[in-house]
Amino acid sequence: HIQRGDIYEVNYCTAFKAEVGALHSPALFEKMASRTEAPFSTYLKLNQHELLCTSPERYFSKKGQRILSQPIKGTNRRVSNNRAAMASLKESEKERAENVMIVDLVRNDLSRVATKGSVQVSELYGTYAFKNVNQLISTVEANITPNIGFWELFGATFPMGSMTGAPKVSAMQLAEQYEKTAREIYSGTVGYTTPEGDADFNVVIRSVAINRNTGVATTHVGGAITILSDPQQEYEECLLKAESMFDSAR
């Protein structure tokens, strides 16, 4: 599909499942959070469903008429000599290509709800070290057109580009065709709004979804596939992303 030009990039995801038994989910979440110190972590319980999420990624924040989105594309392991690892991440042709494709997609999405000429990339290829991984994060900002509400914001930008690929609709269709497990809450969002109309929402990644009705816990992981991707490296990156969940559950 990539070689014949159907898409440029697709975020392909897979799932790991396990029986939960008598798992104490708040304790598991605390372990996951301490291993990652991710800024957009959340624990959510709705009836028989629980979400344990240690996300490093912001979907969007809104303050007044200003909106900001911070897509992540590009991951490697944090190591003792981390300066070299971060430099390697930032200089990687493959990681930069993944990142800029999604930045362009996010710019296009935001332009649908932004005032003319206000969409800008305030940071491209920013490298950030978290407790267990390094990430390549870009920041796209815009001024929202007056009288645009949250439903219009979600309608223009969801699902977030970092979890789909480009072009968005074609990538979503191929992901649905080839992924073997429904994503459900994974690659969705959790956040809040204020009475003043401000908001902050994450991207649901690095997470465990528990269904107490079935007694099953599901962890999804994924990565961007481009023409430069190496299958073994992509698989190893998925395992790296899942590591904090697996280690916490042991």
> What is the mean predicted confidence (pLDDT) over 128-157?
96
Q: For residue 243, is pLDDT > 90?
A: no
Distance CA 76, CA 125 (A): 14
> What is the mean predicted confidence (pLDDT) over 191-211?
97
Distance CA 45, CA 208 (A): 12
Residue 1 domain-assigned (yes or no): no
> What is the mean predicted confidence (pLDDT) over 113-133?
97
Angle subtended at Cα 186 by Cα 185 and Cα 190, rounded to the nearest 5 degrees: 65
Residue 2 domain-assigned (yes or no): no
> What is the mean predicted confidence (pLDDT) over 112-137?
97
Number of domains in the chain: 1
Burial class (CB in 10 A: 0-12, 13-18, 19+), 192: exposed
Residue 142 domain-assigned (yes or no): yes
Q: What is the CATH number of the domain that holds 125?
A: 3.60.120.10
CB atoms within 10 A of CB 168: 19
Residue 138 domain-assigned (yes or no): yes
Sequence letter at residue 125: Y
Residue 233 domain-assigned (yes or no): yes
> What is the mean predicted confidence (pLDDT) over 128-140?
96
Provide the percentage of residues in the chain whose pLDDT is more than 70. 100
Residue 17 domain-assigned (yes or no): yes
Compute the mean pLDDT over every residue in the chain, rounded to the nearest whole number. 95
Residue 227 domain-assigned (yes or no): yes
Task: Provide the terminal-to-terminal Cα distance of the chain, rounded to the nearest Å.
Answer: 39
pLDDT at position 247? 84
Please, which residues bridge with residue 63 across strands? Answer: 66
Q: For residue 21, is pLDDT > 90?
A: no
Distance CA 92, CA 89 (A): 5
Active-site pick, 57, 95, 141, 237: 57
Q: For residue 250, is pLDDT > 80?
A: no
pLDDT at position 159? 96
Rounded to two decimals, the pTM is: 0.93
Q: For residue 59, is pLDDT > 90?
A: yes
Given pLDDT bands bounded at 50, 70 and 90, which one contains residue 22?
confident
Distance CA 41, CA 208 (A): 12
- Write out the residue range of the structural domain in which residue 49 sits: 9-249
Given pLDDT bands bounded at 50, 70 and 90, which one contains residue 87?
very high
Residue 15 domain-assigned (yes or no): yes
Unique residue bearing structure tokens 């042991």: 250
Active-site pick, 73, 168, 237, 241: 73
Provide the percentage of residues in the chain whose pLDDT is more than 90. 87
Residue 73 catalytic?
yes
